[in-house]
Amino acid sequence: MKRYLNLSLIYVIIAMAGGVFYREFTKYNNFTGVTALGKVHVHLFLLGMIVFLLVALFASHYNLTKFKTFRVFLWIYNIGVPVTAIMLLVRGITQVLGLSLSAGISSAISGIAGIGHILTGIGIILLLATLKKMAGNGERAD
């Protein structure tokens, strides 16, 4: 359980840093429009902190690590969420700075962000599959 609380804490610290960066970077550049930077903070809070708080609650009552789907979830999800957040950051910085990107670069940013979203989605499916298996077994850790 402590491991998942630590992951949650890491995500919340990065989420807060993302929020401060968004506010200060847009203010410094006199940017008042909508940008992808505003989504970094929310993605990391919800997909990072909240998900791992919920996982910690389940882990306090069940042995999740005995399920292979859960172990795979940890890897895939913790790759997908940061990739998504980094690409939102990259897209947002280019929007605030008003950089003119080539179609190839713009597509690459979107494509990598899409891969991050796909990995995150696969991770969520693996977590739900683990919870379903766990409920089917009816076993408790305590």
64 in any annotated domain: yes
Model confidence pLDDT, tens digit, residues 48-97:
999 999 999 999 999 999 999 999 999 999 999 999 999 999 999 999 99
Please state the domain count of the chain. 1
68 in any annotated domain: yes
Q: What is the pLDDT of residue 24?
A: 96
Per the structure, the complete domain to which residue 45 belongs is given by: 2-137
pTM of the model: 0.90
- DSSP 8-state secondary structure symbol assigned to residue 65: G
Range 93-124 burial, b when 16+ CB lie within 10 A, else e: bbbbeeeeeeeeeeeebeebbeebbebbeebb
Q: What is the pLDDT of residue 18?
A: 95
109 in any annotated domain: yes
Structural tokens at position 133: 């298996």
142 in any annotated domain: no
Which of 83, 23, 21 lies closest to 48 in space, CA to CA?
A: 83
Q: Identify residue 135 by its one-letter amino acid code.
A: A
